[in-house]
Amino acid sequence: MGKENYYQELKRFSKGLGVDLFGVADISQAKEGFALTAELSEKLKRAVSLGVRLSEGVLEEIQGAPNKLYFHHYRTANSFLDQVAFKVAHHIQKKGFLALAIPASQILDWQKQSAHLSHKKVGVLAGLGWIGRNNLLVNKALGSQFRLATVLTDMPLKADRISKEDCGSCRLCIEVCPAGAIKDDPAQFDHLSCFEKLKEFQAKRLADQYICGVCVKACCGSGEE
Ligand code: SF4
Ligand code: SF4
Protein backbone atom coordinates (compact mmCIF):
# COMPACT_ATOMS: atom_id res chain seq x y z
CA MET A 1 0.00 0.00 0.00
CA GLY A 2 1.28 3.50 -0.85
CA LYS A 3 1.55 6.59 1.41
CA GLU A 4 -1.65 8.13 0.03
CA ASN A 5 -3.63 4.93 0.65
CA TYR A 6 -2.34 4.57 4.21
CA TYR A 7 -3.27 8.20 4.80
CA GLN A 8 -6.80 7.92 3.39
CA GLU A 9 -7.51 4.67 5.22
CA LEU A 10 -6.37 6.12 8.56
CA LYS A 11 -8.30 9.34 7.95
CA ARG A 12 -11.50 7.36 7.29
CA PHE A 13 -10.92 5.28 10.41
CA SER A 14 -10.28 8.38 12.57
CA LYS A 15 -13.25 10.33 11.19
CA GLY A 16 -15.38 7.27 11.90
CA LEU A 17 -14.38 7.62 15.55
CA GLY A 18 -15.77 11.15 15.62
CA VAL A 19 -12.78 13.45 15.11
CA ASP A 20 -13.39 16.76 13.34
CA LEU A 21 -9.77 17.47 12.41
CA PHE A 22 -7.23 15.04 10.95
CA GLY A 23 -3.77 15.82 9.64
CA VAL A 24 -0.37 14.16 9.34
CA ALA A 25 2.95 15.87 10.09
CA ASP A 26 6.37 14.88 8.84
CA ILE A 27 8.33 15.01 12.09
CA SER A 28 11.56 13.42 10.85
CA GLN A 29 13.35 16.78 11.35
CA ALA A 30 11.13 18.23 14.08
CA LYS A 31 11.62 16.29 17.29
CA GLU A 32 13.28 18.98 19.38
CA GLY A 33 11.62 19.09 22.80
CA PHE A 34 10.03 15.63 22.54
CA ALA A 35 10.23 13.99 25.98
CA LEU A 36 10.90 10.49 24.61
CA THR A 37 13.92 8.23 24.52
CA ALA A 38 16.22 8.84 21.54
CA GLU A 39 15.86 5.19 20.49
CA LEU A 40 12.09 5.37 20.15
CA SER A 41 12.02 8.92 18.83
CA GLU A 42 14.39 7.96 16.00
CA LYS A 43 11.90 5.42 14.66
CA LEU A 44 8.85 7.72 14.60
CA LYS A 45 8.73 9.78 11.41
CA ARG A 46 5.07 10.80 11.33
CA ALA A 47 2.67 12.42 13.79
CA VAL A 48 -1.09 12.09 13.35
CA SER A 49 -2.89 15.15 14.69
CA LEU A 50 -6.47 14.55 15.82
CA GLY A 51 -8.87 17.32 16.84
CA VAL A 52 -12.36 17.42 18.30
CA ARG A 53 -14.57 20.48 18.30
CA LEU A 54 -15.66 22.06 21.58
CA SER A 55 -19.32 22.78 22.34
CA GLU A 56 -20.58 26.18 21.25
CA GLY A 57 -23.14 26.09 24.07
CA VAL A 58 -20.53 25.48 26.75
CA LEU A 59 -18.29 28.23 25.38
CA GLU A 60 -21.27 30.59 25.28
CA GLU A 61 -21.55 30.27 29.07
CA ILE A 62 -18.00 31.58 29.65
CA GLN A 63 -18.28 35.18 30.84
CA GLY A 64 -14.76 36.52 31.31
CA ALA A 65 -13.53 33.56 33.37
CA PRO A 66 -13.67 29.75 33.34
CA ASN A 67 -16.57 27.96 35.05
CA LYS A 68 -17.41 24.44 36.24
CA LEU A 69 -19.28 23.60 33.03
CA TYR A 70 -16.25 24.47 30.87
CA PHE A 71 -13.88 22.63 33.20
CA HIS A 72 -15.98 19.45 32.92
CA HIS A 73 -16.29 19.84 29.14
CA TYR A 74 -12.53 20.39 28.80
CA ARG A 75 -11.82 17.19 30.71
CA THR A 76 -14.47 15.24 28.76
CA ALA A 77 -13.02 16.39 25.41
CA ASN A 78 -9.52 15.35 26.55
CA SER A 79 -10.78 12.00 27.73
CA PHE A 80 -12.63 11.46 24.41
CA LEU A 81 -9.44 12.30 22.50
CA ASP A 82 -7.41 9.91 24.64
CA GLN A 83 -9.88 7.14 23.74
CA VAL A 84 -9.68 8.07 20.04
CA ALA A 85 -5.87 8.20 20.11
CA PHE A 86 -5.81 4.83 21.87
CA LYS A 87 -8.00 3.31 19.12
CA VAL A 88 -5.99 4.93 16.31
CA ALA A 89 -2.71 3.67 17.81
CA HIS A 90 -4.23 0.20 18.25
CA HIS A 91 -5.43 0.24 14.63
CA ILE A 92 -1.95 1.21 13.36
CA GLN A 93 -0.32 -1.48 15.50
CA LYS A 94 -2.67 -4.14 14.12
CA LYS A 95 -1.42 -3.20 10.67
CA GLY A 96 2.13 -4.01 11.79
CA PHE A 97 3.51 -0.55 12.59
CA LEU A 98 4.72 1.20 15.70
CA ALA A 99 2.32 3.72 17.28
CA LEU A 100 2.48 5.85 20.39
CA ALA A 101 -0.53 7.86 21.61
CA ILE A 102 0.41 11.09 23.41
CA PRO A 103 -2.17 12.17 26.04
CA ALA A 104 -4.38 15.12 25.15
CA SER A 105 -3.56 16.91 28.38
CA GLN A 106 -0.72 15.62 30.50
CA ILE A 107 1.71 18.19 31.82
CA LEU A 108 5.12 16.90 32.94
CA ASP A 109 6.23 20.17 34.56
CA TRP A 110 3.65 22.89 35.37
CA GLN A 111 6.22 25.67 35.92
CA LYS A 112 7.91 25.00 32.57
CA GLN A 113 4.52 24.07 31.03
CA SER A 114 6.22 21.07 29.42
CA ALA A 115 4.64 17.88 28.08
CA HIS A 116 5.81 14.91 25.98
CA LEU A 117 5.37 17.19 22.98
CA SER A 118 3.39 20.22 21.89
CA HIS A 119 0.14 19.14 20.21
CA LYS A 120 -0.31 22.58 18.69
CA LYS A 121 3.14 22.54 17.07
CA VAL A 122 2.35 19.12 15.62
CA GLY A 123 -1.01 20.54 14.45
CA VAL A 124 0.83 23.33 12.60
CA LEU A 125 3.14 20.81 10.89
CA ALA A 126 0.08 18.69 10.04
CA GLY A 127 -1.48 21.62 8.18
CA LEU A 128 -4.38 22.09 10.59
CA GLY A 129 -3.78 25.80 11.13
CA TRP A 130 -1.43 28.43 12.50
CA ILE A 131 -0.36 29.76 15.91
CA GLY A 132 -2.65 32.73 16.50
CA ARG A 133 -2.35 35.91 18.53
CA ASN A 134 -3.87 33.92 21.41
CA ASN A 135 -0.85 31.52 21.31
CA LEU A 136 -3.19 28.64 20.43
CA LEU A 137 -3.54 26.66 17.22
CA VAL A 138 -6.12 28.39 15.04
CA ASN A 139 -7.98 26.40 12.39
CA LYS A 140 -9.67 28.28 9.53
CA ALA A 141 -13.06 26.66 10.15
CA LEU A 142 -13.06 26.07 13.92
CA GLY A 143 -10.87 28.91 15.18
CA SER A 144 -9.36 27.71 18.48
CA GLN A 145 -12.52 25.90 19.55
CA PHE A 146 -11.15 22.37 19.56
CA ARG A 147 -8.84 20.10 21.56
CA LEU A 148 -6.01 17.97 20.18
CA ALA A 149 -4.23 14.65 20.68
CA THR A 150 -1.32 13.15 18.75
CA VAL A 151 -0.32 9.64 17.67
CA LEU A 152 3.32 9.13 16.66
CA THR A 153 4.07 6.35 14.22
CA ASP A 154 6.45 4.80 11.73
CA MET A 155 3.54 4.03 9.36
CA PRO A 156 4.53 5.41 5.92
CA LEU A 157 1.79 8.07 5.73
CA LYS A 158 1.60 10.95 3.29
CA ALA A 159 2.34 14.20 5.16
CA ASP A 160 0.15 17.31 4.90
CA ARG A 161 1.44 20.75 3.91
CA ILE A 162 1.85 23.57 6.43
CA SER A 163 -0.85 26.25 6.18
CA LYS A 164 0.22 29.64 4.85
CA GLU A 165 -2.62 31.49 6.61
CA ASP A 166 -2.54 33.67 9.71
CA CYS A 167 -4.87 35.79 11.87
CA GLY A 168 -4.88 38.58 9.29
CA SER A 169 -6.82 41.63 10.47
CA CYS A 170 -8.73 39.76 13.22
CA ARG A 171 -8.08 41.02 16.76
CA LEU A 172 -11.11 39.62 18.58
CA CYS A 173 -9.15 37.91 21.36
CA ILE A 174 -6.97 40.92 22.24
CA GLU A 175 -9.74 42.94 23.85
CA VAL A 176 -11.29 40.09 25.85
CA CYS A 177 -8.15 38.68 27.48
CA PRO A 178 -8.44 39.45 31.23
CA ALA A 179 -4.63 39.39 31.57
CA GLY A 180 -3.81 41.70 28.67
CA ALA A 181 -1.51 38.91 27.49
CA ILE A 182 -2.49 38.90 23.81
CA LYS A 183 -0.63 41.33 21.60
CA ASP A 184 -0.77 42.39 18.02
CA ASP A 185 2.40 40.45 17.23
CA PRO A 186 1.87 36.74 18.09
CA ALA A 187 5.57 36.51 19.01
CA GLN A 188 4.94 39.05 21.82
CA PHE A 189 2.36 36.87 23.59
CA ASP A 190 2.86 37.42 27.33
CA HIS A 191 3.10 33.84 28.66
CA LEU A 192 3.78 34.98 32.22
CA SER A 193 0.73 37.25 32.52
CA CYS A 194 -1.47 34.54 31.03
CA PHE A 195 -0.14 31.92 33.46
CA GLU A 196 -0.56 34.28 36.45
CA LYS A 197 -4.22 34.76 35.46
CA LEU A 198 -4.73 30.99 35.16
CA LYS A 199 -3.23 30.56 38.64
CA GLU A 200 -5.61 33.24 39.94
CA PHE A 201 -8.62 31.41 38.42
CA GLN A 202 -7.42 28.14 39.90
CA ALA A 203 -6.89 29.70 43.36
CA LYS A 204 -10.50 30.94 43.24
CA ARG A 205 -11.53 27.33 42.48
CA LEU A 206 -13.23 28.39 39.23
CA ALA A 207 -11.53 25.35 37.67
CA ASP A 208 -9.30 22.73 39.25
CA GLN A 209 -6.75 23.03 36.48
CA TYR A 210 -4.91 25.94 34.85
CA ILE A 211 -7.47 26.74 32.17
CA CYS A 212 -9.33 29.85 31.07
CA GLY A 213 -11.38 29.52 27.85
CA VAL A 214 -11.94 33.26 27.30
CA CYS A 215 -9.74 33.53 24.19
CA VAL A 216 -11.02 30.15 22.98
CA LYS A 217 -14.57 31.51 23.05
CA ALA A 218 -13.48 34.62 21.10
CA CYS A 219 -11.73 32.63 18.36
CA CYS A 220 -14.60 30.98 16.50
CA GLY A 221 -13.27 30.58 12.92
CA SER A 222 -15.29 30.81 9.72
CA GLY A 223 -17.50 27.82 10.53
CA GLU A 224 -17.00 26.57 6.96
CA GLU A 225 -15.16 23.25 6.79
S1 SF4 B 1 -6.00 31.84 28.33
FE2 SF4 B 1 -7.14 33.58 29.26
S3 SF4 B 1 -5.54 34.80 30.25
FE4 SF4 B 1 -4.51 33.44 28.81
S5 SF4 B 1 -4.35 34.56 26.88
FE6 SF4 B 1 -6.28 33.41 26.76
S7 SF4 B 1 -7.82 34.85 27.55
FE8 SF4 B 1 -5.82 35.62 28.18
S1 SF4 C 1 -9.50 35.57 17.70
FE2 SF4 C 1 -8.68 36.34 15.77
S3 SF4 C 1 -6.72 37.32 16.35
FE4 SF4 C 1 -7.31 35.99 18.04
S5 SF4 C 1 -6.23 34.09 17.60
FE6 SF4 C 1 -8.30 33.91 16.75
S7 SF4 C 1 -8.06 34.53 14.60
FE8 SF4 C 1 -6.25 35.23 15.71
Q: Which of 154, 147, 139 is nearest to 50 (CA)?
A: 147
Say what the pLDDT of residue 112 is.
67
Q: Residues enclosing ligand 1, CB less than 6 A?
A: 134, 177-179, 181-182, 194, 197, 212, 214-215
Q: How many Å apart are CA 211 and CA 78, to the nearest integer?
A: 13
Amino acid 109: pLDDT? 72
Give 79's Cβ-side CA count (13 Å radius). 6
**Closest to 140 measured CA to CA, from 46, 27, 23:** 23
CA of 30 to the centre of ligand 1 (A): 27
Q: Ligand 2: which of 124, 130, 131, 133 to mutate, most ligand atoms within 8 Å of CB? A: 133
Ligand 1 atom showing the smallest separation from residue 180 Cα: 8
* Ligand nearest, relative to CA of residue 189: 1
Q: Residue 224 burial (CB < 10 Å; 0-12/13-18/19+)?
A: exposed
β-pairing verdict for 146-153 and 46-53: antiparallel
Per-residue confidence (pLDDT) for residue 208, from 0 to 100? 78
The tens-digit pLDDT sequence of the chain (225 residues) is: 899 999 999 999 999 999 999 999 999 877 777 777 888 888 999 999 999 999 999 999 999 999 999 999 999 999 999 999 999 999 999 999 999 999 998 776 766 666 788 999 999 999 999 999 999 999 999 999 999 999 999 999 999 999 999 999 999 999 999 999 999 999 999 999 999 999 999 998 877 788 999 999 999 987 766
Half-sphere exposure of 158 (CA within 13 A, CB side): 15
How far apart are alpha carbons 114 and 159 in whole angstroms?
26
Give the separation between CA 94 and CA 215, rounded to whole angstroms.
40
Ligand 1 atom nearest to CA at 173: 7
Q: How far apart, in whole angstroms, are the C-alpha atoms of residue 219 and residue 136?
A: 10
Query: Whose alpha carbon is nearest atom 2 of ligand 1?
Result: 212
Task: Give the model's pLDDT for residue 108.
Answer: 64
Which backbone phi and psi does 137 adopt, to 5 degrees?
A: -75, 130
